[in-house]
């Protein structure tokens, strides 16, 4: 950063844009791949585009306080639309472009949007379809004119025409907009983002300029993001993360936002751009690793051996080198050679060569997946955030990165863990309110500004890192009062390829026990390699050597749990391997493969009783539903295994 301006000079996006045009005028602000090449706009050009659009929108009647909905894939013009709307005093409301028309109708209706800017014909069609139920909607502006020739509705406008009108707009209009920009301050609304609404109706989270600009400032400082960084904008524009990364931080630090040509070309475009700052959900990294593994299996023998050898080395010393911890000279030299032969080319293929700061969040990432990228020397870190917090609640500082924590509180964030285990936070990024929903606002945010996350966790003694263990509503206590976090333990078990599903019991009981479902593919392959004959799933599941293996996994999990004073009470004492796969057809799982605890507890009450009895085996009959809807019963005798528990050890303060 050259001269960092004072907060009052640049506390809104239009003001930040003017500042960037002044400070970084000749540097790229946006790139978009179109017609096979990267088209670029400097900050000065971006300012001209945005202001022309703002005058065009104001000319169409966009007034202060209006809501303007934006629907489309990540494109510079749609980012400009957000700032242009703000310059007019209006509030941008980005929507998920893959939403169906009815979902869109709810958000458009709830936000009372007067203007919609749609990316293409597909989005326009959806808007027109639901328009009869939206009396407040007045104008629809489309970006891509393709296929729009036949549309003759008078309230439809081409983006290019709106902008062209803005370019030749009379001077007083420009002055009026300048006055609107000057009048805005940190307390005005910056953006409204709808939560995805997995539980009930989507809620409109109102974020102020202060929320966004303060968060951007603090987080840019945390990771030392500067105008030299670049980011790939490919995650939905309606998601708060994209708003912070591609808008907040990009405008604060003045770095370049790169938009891929289409969703399908994202990987290739990423390779060409080589972002230095990158965010992706865990499943992205998982998918990437899987494709690497598959392609390596098809490679020649020499390449395979090199890959295996150097990856073993990288797993051993890579993370230490990345964190700047001492590593022997021989290992360092070998790692450098590996960088030349394996890690460098691999990172280049993945488009991760230049990544200086990478984040993942959203769900638990498998430790070996996380370790793979760290070993390659990619600074992948975890963060924990929410729309209501303008993303950042906690994040991992460089050099303190671990797979099992989500980091320390972000700058300016205060954390509190309630007696129930639920995590609360208070920060400059904390949202203003839920739009037109004071009850939900009151239920989530208290008078002092503390916000409930709905997640249970604890702050690790010594390191100060937050660890999220489960959704707060699933967390309970065992009979002796220690914390019981079933999903945390189940996830740990499910990281083993042999374990397909696990259900842990223990709430209100003396100790924890578990049901385990083996993964037929993984265990079957293992059985084949070891000449173990089996006739059915049931027989394989009850094989003593399978029990041996699973017991080994459970013991490892117990050891990991014992290392955590908070979670030591969750160690599994006894387990059994189920004779059938848990199935959505039997109501045991949801359609998205989440365990339905209560139903399983009722259905397998006899097995649970046996786990808490003392027997070494139990006989059971279970009703199953076949795919064609017929019902049958399966009978089985299931072995129950006791597992060694690790002694509770206090972790040495690292």
Partner 1 sequence: MTAAGAVVAAAPERRIGGVLMEMKNITLRFGGVTAIKDISFDIREGEIRAIIGPNGAGKSSMLNVINGFYHPQEGEIWFRGAKRGPMRPHAIAHQGIARTFQNIALFKGMSTLDNIMTGRFTHMKRNMFWQALWKGPAEREEYANREVVEKIIDFLQIQAIRKTPVGRLPYGLQKRVELGRALAAEPKLLLLDEPMAGMNVEEKEDMSRFILDVNEEFGTTIALIEHDMGVVMDISDRVVVLDYGRKIGDGTPDEVRTNPAVIDAYLGVSH
Choose which of 62, 128, 321, 568 interacts with partner 1 (CB under 8 A).
128
**CB-nearer residue toward partner 1: 155 or 356:** 155
The answer to whether residue 125 forms part of the interface with partner 1 (CB under 8 A) is: yes
Neighbouring C-beta atoms of residue 619, cutoff 10 Å: 11
Cα–Cα dist 311/317, whole Å:
10
Task: Pick out residues in 461-490 that bind partner 1 (CB under 8 A).
Answer: none
Q: Nearer to partner 1 by C-beta: 146 or 529?
A: 146
Q: Which letter, b or e, does each residue of 389-407 get, where b requires 16 or more Cβ atoms within 10 Å of its Cβ?
A: bbbbbbbbeeeebbbbbbb
For the segment 222-261, give every residue that binds partner 1 (CB under 8 A). Answer: 261
Contacts (CB under 8 A) with partner 1, residues 255-314: 261-262, 264-265, 268
CA–CA distance from 321 to each of 46, 311, 356 (Å)?
40, 14, 14
Q: What are phi and psi of 322, to 5 degrees?
A: -65, -40
Say whether residue 528 binds partner 1 (CB under 8 A): no
Among 109, 129, 323, 583, binds partner 1 (CB under 8 A): 129
User: Does 591 sit near partner 1 (CB under 8 A)?
Assistant: no
Selected from 26, 132, 200, 614, the binder of partner 1 by CB under 8 A is 132
CA 391, 397, 398, 403 torsion-angle sign:
negative
Does position 150 bind partner 1 by CB under 8 A? yes
Residue with tokens 């057809």: 585
3, 26, 35, 481: which one contacts partner 1 (CB under 8 A)?
35
The site for partner 1, by CB under 8 A, has a size of 22
Select from 4, 34, 548, 585 the one that contacts partner 1 (CB under 8 A): 34
Kindly indicate which of the ranges 56-64, 143-151, 158-166, 308-316 contains the residues binding partner 1, using the contact rule CB under 8 A: 143-151
Does 497 help bind partner 1 (rule: CB under 8 A)? no
Does position 135 interact with partner 1 (CB under 8 A)? The reply is no
Per-residue DSSP letter, 477 = E
Interaction pattern, residues 614-633, with partner 1; x per rule: CB under 8 A: --------------------
Tell the smallest beta-carbon distance from residue 144 to partner 1 (Å): 10
Across the strands, what pairs with 392? 385
User: Long-range CB contacts (< 8 A, 24+ apart) of 95-98?
Assistant: 95/69, 95/70, 95/71, 95/194, 95/238, 96/194, 96/196, 96/236, 96/238, 96/239, 97/71, 97/72, 97/73, 97/123, 97/236, 97/237, 97/238, 98/236
Query: Would residue 25 be called left, alpha or beta, if left means φ above 0 and alpha means ψ between -120 and 50 degrees?
Result: alpha
Tell me if 397 sits within 8 A of 376, measured CB to CB.
Answer: no
Residue 149 is a binding residue for partner 1 (CB under 8 A):
yes
C-beta of 34: minimal distance to partner 1 in Å?
A: 7
- Contact region with partner 1 (CB under 8 A), list: 13-21, 28-36, 223-231, 285-293: 28-36
Report the alpha-carbon distance of residue 119 to residue 74 in Å, rounded.
Answer: 9
By C-alpha distance, which of 454, 311, 238 is closest to 303?
311
In the complex with partner 1, the residue whose CB is nearer, 38 or 612, is 38
In the complex, what is the shortest distance from the CB of residue 155 to partner 1, in angstroms, rounded to a whole number? 11
Residue 146 CB, shortest distance to partner 1, in Å, is: 7
In the complex with partner 1, the residue whose CB is nearer, 35 or 626, is 35
Residue 395, C-beta contacts closer than 8 angstroms, at least 6 positions apart: 219, 222, 359, 381, 382, 383, 384, 406, 407, 408, 410
Among 131, 463, 549, 620, binds partner 1 (CB under 8 A): 131
With CB under 8 A as the contact rule, the residue among 151, 284, 450, 612 that binds partner 1 is: 151
Q: Which residue, 101 or 520, is less far from partner 1 as judged by CB? A: 101
Q: How far is the CB of 78 from partner 1 (least distance, A)?
A: 17
CB of 303 to partner 1, least distance (A): 22
Determine contact, residues 163/143, Cβ cutoff 8 Å: no
Q: Which residues pair with 94 in a beta bridge?
A: 70
Smallest separation, CB 92 to partner 1 (Å): 24
CB of 623 to partner 1, least distance (A): 40
- 451-459 and 466-471 as β-strands: parallel, antiparallel, unpaired? antiparallel
Q: At what angle do helices 367-375 and 282-297 cross, to 10 degrees?
A: 70
Listed ranges 121-129, 169-177, 420-428, 506-514: which one lies at the site for partner 1 (CB under 8 A): 121-129
**Order of strands, edge to edge, in the sheet holding 256-259?**
37-42, 28-34, 256-259, 230-232, 277-279, 357-360, 380-386, 391-395, 408-409
The dihedral built from the CA positions of residue 598, 599, 601 and 602, taken in this order, carries a sign that is positive
The C-alpha atoms of residue 177 and residue 155 are separated, in whole angstroms, by 23
Binding site for partner 1 (CB under 8 A): 33-37, 125, 128-129, 131-132, 146-147, 149-153, 261-262, 264-265, 268
């Amino acid at each position: 950063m050259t001269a960092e301006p004072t907060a009052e000079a640049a506390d809104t996006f239009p003001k930040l844009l003017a500042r960037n045009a002044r400070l970084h005028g000749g540097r790229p602000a946006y790139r978009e791949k179109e017609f096979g090449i990267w088209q670029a706009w400097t900050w000065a050009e971006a300012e001209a585009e945005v202001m022309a659009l703002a005058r065009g929108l104001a000319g169409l009647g966009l007034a202060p306080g209006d809501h303007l909905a934006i629907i489309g894939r990540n494109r510079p013009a749609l980012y400009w639309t957000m700032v242009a709307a703000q310059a007019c005093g209006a509030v941008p409301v980005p929507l998920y472009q893959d939403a169906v028309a009815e979902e869109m109708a709810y958000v458009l209706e709830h936000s009372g949007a007067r203007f919609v800017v749609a990316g293409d014909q597909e989005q326009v069609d959806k808007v027109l379809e639901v328009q009869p139920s939206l009396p407040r909607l007045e104008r629809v502006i489309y970006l891509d004119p393709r296929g729009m020739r036949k549309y003759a509705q008078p309230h439809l406008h081409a983006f290019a025409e709106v902008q062209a009108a803005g370019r030749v707009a009379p001077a007083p209009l420009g002055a009026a907009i300048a006055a609107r920009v000057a009048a805005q301050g940190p307390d005005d609304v910056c953006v409204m983002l709808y939560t995805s609404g997995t539980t009930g109706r989507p809620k409109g989270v109102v974020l102020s300029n202060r929320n966004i600009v303060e968060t951007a400032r603090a987080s840019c400082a945390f990771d030392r993001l500067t105008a030299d960084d670049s980011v790939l904008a490919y995650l939905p524009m309606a998601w708060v993360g994209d708003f912070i990364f591609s808008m907040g931080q990009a405008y604060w630090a003045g770095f370049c936002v790169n938009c891929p040509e289409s969703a399908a070309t994202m990987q290739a475009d990423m390779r060409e751009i080589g972002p230095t700052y990158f965010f992706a959900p865990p499943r992205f990294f998982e998918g990437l690793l899987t494709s690497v593994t598959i392609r390596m299996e098809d490679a020649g023998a020499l390449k395979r051996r090199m890959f295996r050898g150097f990856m073993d080395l990288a797993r051993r010393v890579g993370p230490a080198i990345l964190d700047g911890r001492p590593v022997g000279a021989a290992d360092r030299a070998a790692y450098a050679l590996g960088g030349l032969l394996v890690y460098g080319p691999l990172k280049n293929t993945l488009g991760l060569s230049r990544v200086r700061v990478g984040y993942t969040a959203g769900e638990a990432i498998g430790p070996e997946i996380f370790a793979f990228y760290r070993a390659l020397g990619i600074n992948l870190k975890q963060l924990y955030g929410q729309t209501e917090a303008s993303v950042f609640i906690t994040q991992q500082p460089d050099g303190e990165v671990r797979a099992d924590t989500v980091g320390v509180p972000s700058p300016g964030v205060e954390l509190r863990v309630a007696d129930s285990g639920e995590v609360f936070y208070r920060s400059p990024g904390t949202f203003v309110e839920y739009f037109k929903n004071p009850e939900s606002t009151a239920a989530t945010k208290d008078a002092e500004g503390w916000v409930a996350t709905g997640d249970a966790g604890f702050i690790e003694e010594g390191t100060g890192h937050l660890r999220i263990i489960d959704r707060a509503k699933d967390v309970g206590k065992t009979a002796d009062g220690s914390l019981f976090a079933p999903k945390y333990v189940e996830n740990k078990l499910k990281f083993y390829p042999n374990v397909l599903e696990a259900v842990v019991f223990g709430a209100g009981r003396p100790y924890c026990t578990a049901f385990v479902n083996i993964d037929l593919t993984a265990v079957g392959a293992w059985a084949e390699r070891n000449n173990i004959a089996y006739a059915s799933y049931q027989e394989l599941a009850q094989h003593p050597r399978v029990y041996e293996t699973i017991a080994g996994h459970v013991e490892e999990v117990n050891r990991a749990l014992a290392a955590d004073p908070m979670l030591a009470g969750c160690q599994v004492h006894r387990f059994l391997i189920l004779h059938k796969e848990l199935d959505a057809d039997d109501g045991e799982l949801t359609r998205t493969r989440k365990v339905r605890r209560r139903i399983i507890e009722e259905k397998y009450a006899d097995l649970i009783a046996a786990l808490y009895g003392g027997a070494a085996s139990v006989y059971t009959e279970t009703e199953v539903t076949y795919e064609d809807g017929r019902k049958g019963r399966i009978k089985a005798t299931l072995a129950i295994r006791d597992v060694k528990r690790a002694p509770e050890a206090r972790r040495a303060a690292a």
